[in-house]
């Protein structure tokens, strides 16, 4: 799966990690309505695709996410590699 296909139809700014603009968040979600776990997974997959980064290492850097969002991020990210050979 290509990172650009991960959130097909959504337009988001992936330049910074989630949480850099507290005024844009509502109930723990950015103003665009995408969950923090989904946004983190998108950013990780984008770096894996574009830079050849290791997903497992990037996942470890998202420790500021709440537990539920970390779990979603992990499942979405690692699930993208299932069946790849």
Q: Beta-carbon neighbour count of residue 73 at 10 Å? A: 24
Three-state DSSP at 82 gives coil
Domain edges within the chain: 34-85
pLDDT digits (tens, 9 = 90+) for 39-76: 999 999 999 999 999 999 999 998 899 999 999 999 99
Contacts of 2 (CB under 8 A, 6+ apart): 49
Supply the pLDDT for residue 73. Answer: 96
pLDDT confidence of residue 29: 52
Give Cβ neighbours of residue 1 (< 8 Å, ≥ 6 apart). Answer: 45, 80
pLDDT per residue as tens digits for the range 27-40: 455 566 889 999 99
> 19: Cβ–Cβ under 8 A, 6 or more apart, which residues?
25, 36, 64
């Amino acid at each position: 799966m290509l990172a650009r296909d991960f959130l097909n139809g959504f337009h988001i700014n992936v330049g910074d990690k989630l949480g850099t603009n507290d005024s844009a968040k509502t109930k723990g979600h950015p103003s665009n309505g995408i969950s923090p776990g989904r946004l983190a997974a998108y950013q990780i997959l984008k770096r894996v695709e574009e830079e050849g980064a290791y997903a497992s290492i990037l996942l470890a850097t998202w420790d500021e996410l709440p537990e539920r969002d970390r779990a979603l991020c992990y499942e979405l990210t690692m699930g993208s590699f299932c069946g790849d050979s």
